[in-house]
Amino acid sequence: MSIQGRRGIRVALPYLLPSLLGALLFAILPIIISLMLSVTNWSGMSRVRLTDGFLKFVAEHFVGLENSKAILGDAEFWRALSHNLYFIVLYLPLMLALSMTAALIINAPNRGANVYRVVYYLPVLTSWVAGSLIWKWLLSPVYGPINNFLAIIGIEGPLWLQSEVWAMPSIVLASIWKDMGFYAMILLGGLKSINTEYYEAARIDGASKAQMFARITLPLLSSVLFYVSMLSMINAFQLFPQVMVMTKDGNAGPNGATMVMVERIYKYAFRYGKMGYAAAYSWILFVIIMAFTYIQKRGEKRWVNYDV
């Protein structure tokens, strides 16, 4: 490294040090510790000190890959994974379609654009606990407004969160309501970056709005759509607070209909006293997310256009 480069590092280091220390203490160190705990049978109840024989503690409780083997051999794990995938199949297309619709509405030249931005973004600012309680009330089969409205028009509403069939779609509805505004703002930024000359040229050539959307907007917005789809998929695998709040007593819905990966990690760690098992569960989830991210990246070149 050149003298100028070393001098630049010395100048920048004092400013970067607080962030680097924060990343070390609250991100890197917990990751390393969780990896080490994943090969132990620690219950989470005994005291663990980083400065007083932590490696000795790991050696005393070491079980190797037994936790991972037990998880992968348990039918409950595959059921939780299937529920996560089912959630993604329902959530991702609807979220992308509705977020795109909201972004197009906000981007359209009208006097109410700023009002729409506030309305769509308000759920993002709402905490998941508050939002989940609202949706738990809305979807109540007895006094919920949604079923009351369906009864007015002659439709018998389902049991929603109390139904094994409708419990996960109910979680999907609440999740889309909460996340749509966030992704709509990202897509809006992409729409604003598209040169309006493309639309003017297409309008002169007689292209309709549908043709301009299909031939101009979608291709030039594909990179943003790819980012949104990847981010939303990663978040979907970490589905947790809405399940815990909306389902009865946090018991993963009727007959475990909303049992998902992070919910299992939480319960094994803090209810069943299997902290090492939960750590191994979290690392398996990490590998799954990385695998799906890799698959998405492999397909990126087939439809993503970075030429704007």
How far apart are the C-alpha atoms of 98 and 194, rounded to whole Å? Answer: 20
> Tokens 């998880």, residue?
71
Query: Predicted confidence band at 4 (pLDDT cuts at 50, 70, 90)?
Result: low
- Quick one: pLDDT at residue 110? 76
Q: Which two tokens stand for residue 19?
A: 């962030």
Mean pLDDT of all residues belonging to the chain: 89
- CB atoms < 10 A from the CB of 193, how many? 12
Tokens of 282: 């979290």
pTM attached to this predicted model: 0.89
Which residues touch 257 (CB under 8 Å, ≥6 apart)? 83, 163, 164, 165, 167, 168
Using pLDDT thresholds of 50, 70 and 90, give the confidence band for residue 169. Answer: very high
Give the confidence band of 2 by pLDDT, cuts at 50, 70, 90: low
If we measure between CA atoms, which residue out of 285, 181, 278 comes closest to residue 238?
285
pLDDT tens for each residue of 112-159: 777 888 888 999 999 999 999 999 999 998 888 999 999 999 888 899
What's the rounded Cα separation, in Å, for the pair 251 and 254? Answer: 8
Q: In this structure, are residues 137 and 217 in contact, taking their beta carbons and an 8 Å threshold?
A: no
Residue ranges of E strands in 155-295: none
pLDDT tops 90 at residue 16: no
For residue 136, the model assigns a pLDDT of 92
183-241 per-position pLDDT tens digit: 999 999 999 988 889 999 999 988 888 999 999 899 999 999 999 999 999 999 999 99
Is pLDDT of 258 > 80? yes
For 26-71, what is each residue's pLDDT tens digit? 989 889 989 999 999 988 777 776 666 777 888 888 898 999 999 9
**In angstroms, rounded to a whole number, what is the distance separating the alpha carbons of residues 123 and 174?**
10
With 60 as the cut, is the pLDDT of residue 308 above it?
no
* Percentage above 90 pLDDT, the chain: 53
